[in-house]
């Protein structure tokens, strides 16, 4: 508290002398020297050399030396970062685009990058097909044998597609496609989607044609099918019991209602998982109410 508003007046050299140190010493040396001198001059210590004025000079010198070491360390780290940035910086920054794909002028590299994206999307579609076949036929020896055959078919298809691509490139190099009608004009299949670039539209079309669906779409479909199945099941169970219900039939109906409430609780957990992955806020779903579903089932039963 005594030194909280005190501003040191010593210069750096005098501060090192007060702490009995030399310039260029380490931070540990400064701390050790300060601790030893503080034990010697602190007014509350039992030392015979206790002196409040000497302790104030030691405290002042300690702050000045710490500031000097911090400034030196900051300047050294700044120079190292600057040298590291200079050694790694690129002279031609336009080569940072297109993921480093292609050579030549920017327009040529853009065309090569578009072709690279098409090839990468095709490979991803083939990998998706293979994974779907693996998950579909996994389980028994027969399914594994079918999986091997399907994998071979996928590899053969991929090899054929690459062969066709090589033949197309060879024909283009020979000039076989120079006299085609519509050369240099945009494809008509992209004319109906003017708000997105043709490459993105083409990639989306490839994914859709091969049966790819996002995870939230599958979850939404599963939730809708489950609630419809539960609604039909509760109505069918009520119709089997008839009207009026006996005591045993009422107990049976109570067990059916308890199972229905448990199924609704599990379905609401799926709804929570769906709300975590759906990308659009307006597509999120609310929980299903057991009471409302029971009332809905009773109205459906009375109507039937």
Residue 242's φ and ψ, nearest 5 degrees, are: 75, -170
Distance CA 238, CA 256 (A): 9
What pLDDT is attached to residue 221?
Answer: 92
- The string of pLDDT tens digits covering residues 180-190 is 776 766 655 54
pLDDT at 138: 62
**Domains of the chain, residue spans:** 12-74, 99-139, 140-177, 207-303
Angle at 66 between CA 63 and CA 70, to 5 degrees: 140
Q: According to the model, what pLDDT value does residue 107 have?
A: 81
pTM of the model: 0.35
Residues of the chain with pLDDT below 50 are 1-9, 87-95, 190-191
Given this model, what pLDDT does residue 94 score? Answer: 47
Predicted pLDDT at 291 = 93
What tens digit of pLDDT does each residue of 37-57 get?
A: 888 887 777 777 878 888 888
Question: Comparing C-alpha atoms, which of 68, 60, 67, 6 is closest to residue 37?
Answer: 60
Residue 273's pLDDT is: 92
Instruction: State residue 73's pLDDT score.
Output: 81
Quote the pLDDT of residue 261. 94
241-257 burial: b if 16+ Cβ within 10 Å, else e: beeeeeeeeeeeeeebb
Q: Report the topology of domain 12-74.
A: Helix Hairpins (1.10.287)
């Amino acid at each position: 508290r005594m030194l909280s508003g005190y501003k040191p007046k010593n210069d750096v050299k005098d501060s090192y002398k007060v702490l009995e140190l030399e310039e260029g010493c380490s931070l540990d040396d400064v701390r050790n020297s300060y601790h030893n001198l503080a034990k010697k001059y602190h007014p509350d210590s039992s030392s015979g050399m206790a002196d409040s004025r000497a302790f104030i000079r030691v405290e002042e010198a300690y702050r000045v030396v710490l500031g000097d070491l911090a400034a030196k360390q900051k300047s050294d780290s700044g120079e190292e970062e600057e040298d590291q940035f200079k050694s790694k910086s690129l002279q031609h920054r336009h080569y940072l685009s297109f993921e480093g794909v292609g050579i030549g002028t920017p327009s040529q590299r853009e065309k090569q990058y578009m072709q690279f994206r098409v090839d990468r999307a095709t490979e991803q579609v083939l990998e998706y097909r293979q994974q779907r076949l693996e998950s579909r036929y996994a389980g028994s020896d027969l399914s594994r044998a079918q999986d091997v055959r399907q994998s071979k078919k996928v590899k053969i298809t991929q090899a054929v597609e690459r062969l066709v691509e090589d033949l197309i490139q060879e024909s283009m190099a020979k000039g076989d496609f120079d006299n085609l009608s519509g050369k240099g004009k945009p494809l008509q299949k992209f004319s109906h989607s003017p708000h997105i670039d043709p490459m993105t539209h083409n990639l989306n079309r490839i994914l859709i044609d091969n049966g790819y669906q996002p995870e939230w779409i599958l979850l939404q479909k599963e939730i809708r099918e489950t609630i419809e199945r539960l609604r039909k099941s509760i109505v069918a169970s009520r119709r089997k019991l008839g009207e009026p219900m006996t005591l045993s039939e009422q107990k049976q109906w109570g067990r059916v209602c308890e199972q229905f409430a448990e199924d609704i609780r599990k379905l609401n957990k799926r709804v929570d998982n769906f709300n975590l992955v759906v990308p659009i806020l307006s597509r999120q779903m609310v929980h299903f109410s057991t009471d409302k579903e029971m009332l809905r089932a009773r109205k459906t039963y009375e109507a039937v």
